[in-house]
Amino acid sequence: MKFNISTFLLPVFLLVSGISSAQNFLSENFNGNTIPSGWAVDDQGTGACRWMIHASSTAVPMLGSNYLFVNSDSAGAATVGNETITSPLIPLNAGSQVFLSFQHFFRKRNGRQDTGRVEVFFNGTWIKALEFAASTGTASNPASELLNVSAWAGPEFRVRFQYKSLRAWYWAIDNIKVFTPPAADLGVTGIQNLSSPCGLAVPLPITVKIKNFGGQVQSGFPVSYQVAAQAAVTETFSNSILPGDSASSTFRLLFLPRSVAI
């Protein structure tokens, strides 16, 4: 008989000082029934494929509310998609620490050259920041993207989403944000799911994945975990994590499975 250690893990705690509030420059959830004011749709393809607001559905529920959607499949066999939607102007100070985040489901059609591209406007030029050429996320569990766009911050900043296809599938996008994150904002995004034969006193390491959601490099912070009603174990993460990056932390003190009552 085996048991999973993650069954007994209470939340892992990160203790960070100096937390400040975020500043949002753009926050759009597309919950209205039409394309939001200030957003520009450019339809350069053929057929009925174009960006629209779509309600949550059984086929593509996303997060349970309206979302931005472009559908190459429903537009017909002869459809050539070249569809772009551009945000309003987002004036930013050069040198600012700025991030772009969104949630999406890009459904790739095998054998087709469909792509989803994210571009930012900087110094009079559109610059590719991200591109998707394989299925990303799912219809009910969209992928979350976090992109550091600080290098392109400027007074004429915009972001646009471009979908190119030839009778492919679709791209669904929601919760687009451009923001300066808090200086200190860390979170645990995963705990290694360990298992051990019941009754065997085999010391096992506890490993967690930590992500820096903040705007500054973080290092030297305490990380704690607790198993069942036992005392919490606290150690210091001494390496550095850049803004937007993740790192794994393995506790030096090993966990003894026999100490857990089941």
pLDDT tens per residue, range 88-137 = 999 999 988 899 999 999 999 887 889 999 999 999 999 999 999 999 99
The domain spanning residue 72 has which CATH number? 2.60.120.200
Domain range enclosing 34 = 23-180
Strand boundaries in 115-245, DSSP class E: 115-122, 125-132, 143-148, 159-166, 170-180, 186-191, 195-197, 207-212, 218-225, 233-241
Clarify whether residues 147 and 251 are in a common domain. Answer: no
Of the listed ranges 3-12, 25-34, 61-70, 78-87, the least confidently predicted one is 3-12
Last residue of a domain, one of 125, 152, 180: 180
Can you give the pLDDT at residue 63? 95
Looking at residue 118, the DSSP 8-state letter turns out to be E
Same-domain check for residues 174 and 218? no
Q: Are residues 223 and 102 in the same domain?
A: no
pTM of the model: 0.71
For the residues 135-158, what does the mean pLDDT come to? 96
CB-CB contact of 66 with 30 (8 Å): yes
Distance CA(236)–CA(220), nearest Å, equals 6
From 123, 153, 180, give the residue that closes a domain: 180
194 and 176 fall within a common domain: no
d(CA 147, CA 100): 5
- Picking from 136, 154, 180, the residue at the C-terminal end of a domain is 180
Which whole-number Å values give the CA distances from 58 to 4, 55, 63, 104, in the listed order? 33, 10, 11, 16
- CA 103 from centroid of its chain's CA atoms: 6
Rounded mean pLDDT, 195-215: 75
Number of domains in the chain: 2
3 has pLDDT over 50: no
Looking at the structure, do residues 211 and 106 belong to the same domain, yes or no? no
What is the tens place of the pLDDT at every residue in 184-203?
888 888 887 666 555 556 78
- Average pLDDT over the chain, rounded to an integer: 85
